[in-house]
């Protein structure tokens, strides 16, 4: 069997498993991606994601993680939204969840299919195989560019000429030799739409991201209170941000997700912020069952919801906030104070006097002082 036959059979199997795109790259050749990651961490742009620094050596190159890796099969699964993800910004009393998180958790879906493809490929090529989704220490976007699936745009995300910005990635590394595909080249040109739309200025330069200013990082990865500098810019985004992805001109070729599990669930498309603020642990678990939002936990989610309520500028929503002033979590209480200072600033002093000493620990007191300023 020729190399071309092998690659054609793998692509056919990948399509059978639901992947829209499949490419091949060397996993052993040198590349500059490791040096770029090292600079990212050295500049502190990874924020509180300590695991990026802790796994830096393994992330530098595929063979740093697995020395026997020779080839990579890189897969893409389309999750294109069926409407403009930014239109919900016009309805500030409703929460915006990033397009990728409105259906089932893609990690579980993709990993199962990658294992199927890996087993199938191993039976035909021999060698050892390992599968990776984005929770593993593998630089998947540079690998996808090498495999011809797209290129890393100025927003640092992968852009596909066929599917725009909406691709989940997964990889199968193998010790077998497979002829690589031509790498994709950069097609951003002079466009800077993704850089200019960022509400928090998270791009210090094209192709560079400072995660500490990124709304996706702030609402998902960051565990504590969001710096007051960025709270207004969050708007009604309660989990992730699609701004830089949604404005890319290459989305003119994008398609809606074909995989039913990745299509948006009705209850996750612009849910009412007031109803979300009333969630308890059981309700949160039910609403986000099999969904990636669940991994940030109720407290962090309520923090995001309360910031969004404050940004709604709708005084009628103040009652949805007040109930969280006595929440067991200082993180939630602090966010409630900030939200109330935006919705009902004339009531701040009276409400503060009504709270017990145990509800005013140091962190929350700082929020009250900020609210009164």
What pLDDT is recorded for position 363?
A: 65
Q: What is the pLDDT of residues 54-74, one digit of tens each?
A: 988 989 899 998 999 999 999
Catalytic member of 84, 104, 134, 346: 134
Q: Could you tell me the pTM of the whole model?
A: 0.93
Please, are residues 15 and 22 in contact by the beta-carbon 8 Å criterion? yes
Taking alpha carbons only, the member of 156, 238, 139 closest to residue 203 is 156
Q: What is the mean pLDDT of residues 214-241?
A: 97
96-121 core/surface letters (b: 16 or more CB in 10 A; e: else):
bbbbbbbbbbbeebbbebbeebbebb
Known active-site residue 134: yes
Res. 2: pLDDT tops 60: no
Res. 370: pLDDT tops 80: no
Q: What is the mean pLDDT of residues 99-104?
A: 96
Q: What is the mean pLDDT of residues 305-333?
A: 95
Q: What is the pLDDT of residues 64-100, one digit of tens each?
A: 989 999 999 999 999 999 999 999 999 999 999 999 9
**For the chain, how big is the Rg over CA atoms in Å?**
22
Please, are residues 335 and 309 in contact by the beta-carbon 8 Å criterion? no
């Amino acid at each position: 069997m020729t190399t071309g036959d092998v690659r054609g059979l793998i692509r056919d199997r990948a399509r059978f498993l639901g992947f829209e795109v499949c490419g091949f790259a060397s996993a052993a050749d040198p590349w500059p991606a490791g040096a770029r990651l090292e600079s990212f961490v050295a500049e502190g742009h990874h924020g509180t994601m300590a695991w990026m620094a802790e796994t830096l050596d393994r992330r530098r190159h595929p063979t740093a993680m697995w020395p026997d890796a020779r080839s990579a099969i890189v897969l893409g699964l389309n999750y294109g939204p069926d409407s403009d993800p930014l239109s919900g910004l016009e309805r500030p009393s409703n929460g915006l969840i990033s397009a990728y998180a409105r259906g089932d958790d893609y990690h579980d879906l993709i990993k199962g299919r990658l294992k199927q493809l890996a087993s199938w490929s191993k039976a035909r090529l021999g060698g050892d195989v390992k599968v990776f989704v984005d929770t593993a220490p593998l630089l998947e976007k540079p690998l996808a560019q090498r495999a011809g699936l797209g290129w890393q745009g100025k927003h640092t995300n992968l852009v596909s000429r066929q599917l725009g910005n909406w691709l989940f990635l997964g990889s199968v590394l193998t010790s077998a030799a497979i002829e690589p595909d031509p790498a994709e080249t950069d097609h951003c040109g002079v466009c800077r739409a993704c850089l200019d739309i960022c509400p928090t200025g998270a791009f210090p330069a094209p192709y560079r991201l400072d995660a500490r200013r990124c709304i996706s990082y702030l609402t998902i990865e960051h565990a504590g209170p969001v710096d007051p500098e960025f709270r207004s810019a969050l708007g009604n985004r309660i989990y992730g941000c699609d701004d830089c992805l949604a404005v890319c001109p290459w989305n003119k070729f994008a398609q809606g997700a074909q995989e039913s599990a990745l299509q948006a669930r009705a209850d996750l498309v612009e849910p009412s912020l007031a109803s979300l603020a009333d969630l308890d642990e059981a309700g949160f678990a039910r609403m986000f069952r099999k969904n990636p939002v669940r991994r940030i936990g109720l407290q962090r989610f309520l923090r995001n919801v309360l910031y969004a309520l404050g940004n709604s500028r709708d005084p009628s929503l103040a009652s949805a906030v007040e109930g969280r002033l006595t929440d067991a979590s200082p993180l939630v209480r602090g966010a409630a104070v900030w939200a109330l200072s935006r919705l009902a600033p004339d009531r701040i002093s009276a409400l503060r006097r009504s709270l017990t000493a145990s509800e005013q620990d140091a962190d929350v007191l700082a929020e009250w002082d900020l609210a009164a300023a």
